Structure 1
């Protein structure tokens, strides 16, 4: 018998998660909320049908914040089966731009095809046309203290 991973399973270990349906993607979306990344760390490889981001992800799953303070970790967010990429509200020519990821969503089209939507702060968005939903999130560095010393706050 297999059991789904729980939010608590990610505590101090690096995350390595996959999403193949909208419910799976909601979990990855919650873990990548408020991740920041330079626009230069966004890559689409049409020949491989792969889109990737190197994120500085806030560790929402970390239960040790009271001991060591808020942490971030660099993570790869990879979307496979990508047929096309569109953006809105992003000037890709400005290489100094830092983007903030707010949410990931999936819009089902026909059969398994659809669109992965990446909603960014400041009214920016990415829309990835996919043949089938296949998203992975993998931590690739050790956690580091968040430069702000604070957890992101949406109440302000």
Structure 2
């Protein structure tokens, strides 16, 4: 005997994704576009070679925006195999700074290593030199109504 689908079967599930190649990363980059985070929510655990950001990402994948409005969710963006970090336009001393992530791109070298560039609004950038591409994105809270009440826009 089969069981009828329940309401919970139709609910939207939190994201839990991994990127191990450029194509995977393009999908992930589109999902974190316009994510915002306080500068204090970035961390690099050098002995573990892990860089992480707790960000508030817009739920681009949400098909129910017409029903319940624009939503964000807190998510962890974690990059493993990090050898070195550099940044431009990011003042770690300015503890009240809120950053907006525009894209994540990987440029490989011949040996599978390469660098991951996190492009930020306002000409900021973070470059992660990595031994191999390994990035995860995991939603860690329930969605909440976007404070602006609307989707981010890039109209000039």
State the TM-score, normalizing by the size of structure 2. 0.92
Q: Which runs of 5+ in 1 are unaligned?
A: 1-10
- Larger CA deviation: 116-125 vs 104-113: 104-113
Q: Is 2:125 aligned against 1:125? A: yes
- 2:31: which partner in 1? 31
Alpha-carbon RMSD across the aligned residues, in angstroms, is 0.8
Q: Distance in 1 between matches of 2:146 and 2:12?
A: 16
Taking the TM superposition and a 5 Å limit, the aligned residue runs for 1:85-100 are 85-100=85-100
SS in 2 for 1:90: coil
- 1:110: which partner in 2? 110
Taking the TM superposition and a 5 Å limit, the aligned residue runs for 1:65-84 are 65-84=65-84
Q: Distance in 2 between matches of 1:109 and 1:83?
A: 14
Q: Which runs of 5+ in 2 are unaligned?
A: 1-10
- 2:19: which partner in 1? 19
- 2:5: which partner in 1? none
1:28-53 C-alpha deviation (Å, 9 max, x unpaired): 00000000000000000110000000
Taking the TM superposition and a 5 Å limit, the aligned residue runs for 1:25-64 are 25-64=25-64
State the TM-score, normalizing by the size of structure 1. 0.92
Query: Which structure: larger Rg?
Result: 2
| Matched positions, count | 146
Q: Is 2:136 aligned against 1:136? A: yes
Moved segments of 4+, more than 2 Å: none
Q: Distance in 1 between matches of 2:77 and 2:51?
A: 8
SS in 2 for 1:47: helix
SS in 2 for 1:122: coil
Q: Distance in 2 between matches of 1:67 and 1:59?
A: 14
SS in 2 for 1:95: coil
Q: Distance in 1 between matches of 2:115 and 2:83?
A: 10
1:97-133 C-alpha deviation (Å, 9 max, x unpaired): 0000000000111311000000000000000000000
